Structure 1
Amino acid sequence: MNYLREIEGKRAHDRRSNETMTQSPRRVWVPGPVIVGAGPSGLAAAACLKEKGVPSVILERSNCIASLWQLKTYNRLRLHLPKQFCELPLMAFPEEFPTYPTKQQFIEYLEDYAKRYEIKPEFDQKVERAEYDQSLGFWRVKSVGLKEEETEYMCRWLVVATGENAEAVVPEIEGMKDFGGKIVHTSLYKSGDDFRGKRVLVVGCGNSGMEVCLDLCNHNASPSLVVRDTVHILPQQMLGRSTFGLSMWLLKWLPMRLVDRLLLIVSWLMLGDTARFGLDRPQLGPLELKNLSGKTPVLDVGTLAKIKSGDIKIYPGIQQLERYTVKFENGIKENFDAIILATGYRSNVPFWLKEKEMFSEKDGLPQRPFPNGWKGECGLYAVGFTKRGLLGASMDAKRIAEDIKRCWKA
């Protein structure tokens, strides 16, 4: 780290007895921002800062960039939106990539992005605490490495890039210890090949749950899907264009509610009445619901046809688990060999960031709604918390780099 300067050396002190000597945390001065998280959001922020002439340090708890994509996603995953809506700032996808790049292609793109902008994160550095020191006017960011060595980074600016999907959400279901079969979160699911010939219950009907069900079907498993809430299912393509791209174009000319109405009419013509199959739609339209709550509509990639054919069965919420048996809220009991929890992720910011104004302690997201959630007080920033995917993260990264550049020059 040639741009870092150590400002405090080793200091011996007693712990419990005069004979036990330990080292205090290594303290490092960072002239530019510290970015916590080396996912797409952190990479975008670092690249935009570098383009403005501002150096930065990225701290990443894993051993690679984009660890969620590399280590915690299933094999058949593709980008759900066309590639032009998933580009990071300053670098387009290769022209030869398909409209919906595969998981491996996206990882390749991110690695090339990091190489182009010479982004070299400090890996295996888990940030345990970050707090603003009013007396010094700097952020103190304490991280712990693989060998439990502690480092405290001192910086004027702190960019939180751990994102909305930092920790898997694993719900407590009565009887989980008694079930006997495998229960895994989608972060540990790789392929339906591991479940051939088995009856598998997938809990959660978002994009991941739907796609895992399809993957299980394609590997000769017998999946069922727990649908606990209403859900909008839209075709991935409409009228020869991506549904997302068409929506963005229509919103330039029409109010959101009218665009929602058009999307639902076309969806009904293409997919039929999803309520017939236990997939009731919310009262709010898909775009309005996304805007208000962040809940993303499901873009169908073939799962609905399997539901219609009966290859995927729909069940209500789970009441409790017994030995290889699931009792549902409607009183029905069914046998299953395994359960996959497609129950999503959450932010982990409240666990390590000691700040109560910008981020909510309840959900770890910025308290001010998009597009104003990217900047806090005392040099604190957030990137990747817009609930608008990579497009929102890119917008945040550009704003942050421009804002810090002004202070940097001053």
Structure 2
Amino acid sequence: MSEELKRVWVAGPLIIGAGPSGLAAAVCLQQKGVPSLVIEREKCIASLWKLRTYDRLTLHLPKQFCELPYMEFPQEFPTYPTKKQFSSYLEEYENHFSIRPMFEEEVRLAEYDSTIGFWLVRTNKSEFVCRWLIVATGENSEPVTPEIAQISNFQGRVLHTSMYKAGSDFEGEKVLVVGNGNSGMEISLDLCNNGAQASVSVRDTVHILPREMLGLSTFGLSIRLLRWLPLPLVDRFLLLCSWLIFGDTRQLGFKRPKIGPFEMKNTAGKTPVLDVGTLAKIRSGHIKVVPGLKRFTNKGAEFVDGRVEEFDSIILATGYRSNVPSWLKEEELFSQKDGYPIKPFPNSWKGNNGLYSVGFTKRGLLGASLDSRKVAEDIAQQWNVDTKHLDSAC
């Protein structure tokens, strides 16, 4: 290792990532009496939320399903807290539990040294040595930019949703949104509400559900039903309610997958779209649905059905990916192909040699909280045994 790097010995676990997952892991460890150190590549906590999300973003699930361990949301917060409110909640979480991350520490390499029984984690500034390593960088570390033919030919502006802030920046423009997930649908609505002519390109099949059913959040209602009914039956109920509320979404240009929304979430990790008003705008003609994108032209795009249209701007709502394979030298817990744990939930949180993952369950903040508690419990047992041995030796 370079002699210029500052060596840091970490008494407890080293946590990579100061987003919700990393903070939750640190707090759960703290509650078990285990010290930890959090490192973060950016200058702030929750950088994805603060720096790479659009202004109108709110939590997609009710706040009670998004709370981090040991701290509730303020009672005055709405059911679906805004981006600003959630960021303030995370800041209060950090301050209340006195979590002090080391910022601007971007991990370049992490590998286990079997000769000494410790992890060596090299960043742009430091070399950390630790017995336990918790990967909490999350599922959304790096924006995904698809390879679309002749993208460089387009003369307008092209940006990923990570750079999109508000529809008011596109007032009067004709804008194509590539991607029909939650972000793509919400951004299309935001553009429409701010005077832009929005079109959303639909390539994949998708389940679109109401955000609320029967006076309850769709997610909350589903959780209740799953306590009593098998998953296929709950899926059928959700799809029936969706059809009664929205009608046949195929007539609007959306094709449903062959399997139900919860089965798809469990097997493929693909989240259904929770509609917040976009379908009404599509039905009224204010937002246009177009087929999948084939290639860019100088002034717009050609679609798979052969039609060609002109656009002023194109927004890529094409998601994010894990960057773990680029720096973690390990092949038993994390897949080198996609950067997700190889074992499915709920067994995705623990690897070998003191390696753990938090926030890779494809179940959002609720999954991260579950991971954090399991990881803290497991490490605390080892920590307490080591402490007893040290006391006996003294």
Give the Å deviation of 1:319.
Answer: 1.3
Give the Å deviation of 1:373.
Answer: 0.3
Identity %: 63
**Number of aligned pairs?**
385
Are residues 1:337 and 2:312 paired? yes
CA distance in 2, matches of 1:69, 1:324: 32
Superposed CA offset, 1:383-408 (max 9, x none):
00000000000000000000000010
93, 98, 106: which one aligns with 1:113: 93
Paired position in structure 1 for 2:285: 310
Are residues 1:86 and 2:66 paired? yes
Are residues 1:126 and 2:101 paired? no
Paired position in structure 1 for 2:366: 391
CA distance in 2, matches of 1:24, 1:166: 27
Residue correspondence of structure 1 range 140-159 to structure 2 within 5 A? 140-144=120-124, 150-159=125-134
Are residues 1:259 and 2:234 paired? yes
Superposed CA offset, 1:21-61 (max 9, x none):
x8442211111000000000000000000111111111100
CA distance in 1, matches of 2:176, 2:4: 50
Where 1:254 maps in the other structure, the secondary structure is coil
One-letter amino acid matched to 1:233 = I
CA distance in 2, matches of 1:111, 1:47: 13
Give the Å deviation of 1:363.
Answer: 0.5
CA distance in 2, matches of 1:325, 1:154: 51
Q: TM-score, normalised by structure 1?
A: 0.93
Paired position in structure 2 for 1:192: 167
CA distance in 2, matches of 1:84, 1:281: 29
One-letter amino acid matched to 1:305 = A
CA distance in 2, matches of 1:325, 1:101: 36
CA distance in 2, matches of 1:308, 1:57: 51
317, 321, 332: which one aligns with 1:357: 332
Paired position in structure 2 for 1:173: 148
Paired position in structure 1 for 2:40: 60
CA distance in 2, matches of 1:217, 1:226: 15
| Stretches of structure 2 lacking an aligned partner (at least 5 in a row) | 386-394
CA distance in 1, matches of 2:5, 2:309: 54
CA distance in 1, matches of 2:300, 2:193: 24
CA distance in 1, matches of 2:148, 2:25: 39
Paired position in structure 1 for 2:5: 25
Are residues 1:100 and 2:76 paired? no
Where 1:376 maps in the other structure, the secondary structure is coil
9, 16, 20: which one aligns with 1:40: 20
Where 2:175 maps in the other structure, the secondary structure is strand
CA distance in 2, matches of 1:23, 1:381: 28
One-letter amino acid matched to 2:15 = I
57, 69, 72: which one aligns with 2:49: 69
Paired position in structure 2 for 1:147: none
Superposed CA offset, 1:143-197 (max 9, x none):
11xxxxx311000000000010000001121111110000000000000111000
Paired position in structure 2 for 1:8: none
One-letter amino acid matched to 2:168 = D
CA distance in 1, matches of 2:233, 2:297: 47
Q: TM-score, normalised by structure 2?
A: 0.97
Residue correspondence of structure 1 range 219-298 to structure 2 within 5 A? 219-298=194-273
CA distance in 2, matches of 1:354, 1:190: 35
CA distance in 2, matches of 1:26, 1:92: 38
Where 2:329 maps in the other structure, the secondary structure is coil
One-letter amino acid matched to 2:237 = L
One-letter amino acid matched to 2:43 = N
Give the Å deviation of 1:108.
Answer: 0.4
CA distance in 1, matches of 2:340, 2:87: 26
Where 2:91 maps in the other structure, the secondary structure is helix
CA distance in 2, matches of 1:154, 1:323: 52
One-letter amino acid matched to 2:191 = L
Where 1:73 maps in the other structure, the secondary structure is coil
CA distance in 2, matches of 1:349, 1:49: 23
Paired position in structure 2 for 1:213: 188
One-letter amino acid matched to 1:43 = L
Superposed CA offset, 1:83-112 (max 9, x none):
000000000001110000000000000000
Superposed CA offset, 1:111-159 (max 9, x none):
0000011001000000100000000000000011xxxxx3110000000
**Structure 1 residues 247, 112: CA separation in 2 closer, same or farther (over 3 Å shift)?**
same
Superposed CA offset, 1:312-365 (max 9, x none):
111111111111121111000000000000000000000010001110011000
One-letter amino acid matched to 2:145 = V
One-letter amino acid matched to 1:90 = Y
One-letter amino acid matched to 2:160 = H
CA distance in 2, matches of 1:314, 1:405: 52
Give the Å deviation of 1:310.
Answer: 1.1
157, 163, 168: which one aligns with 2:138: 163
CA distance in 2, matches of 1:75, 1:261: 34
Superposed CA offset, 1:254-298 (max 9, x none):
000000000000110011100001111111000000000000000
Paired position in structure 2 for 1:15: none
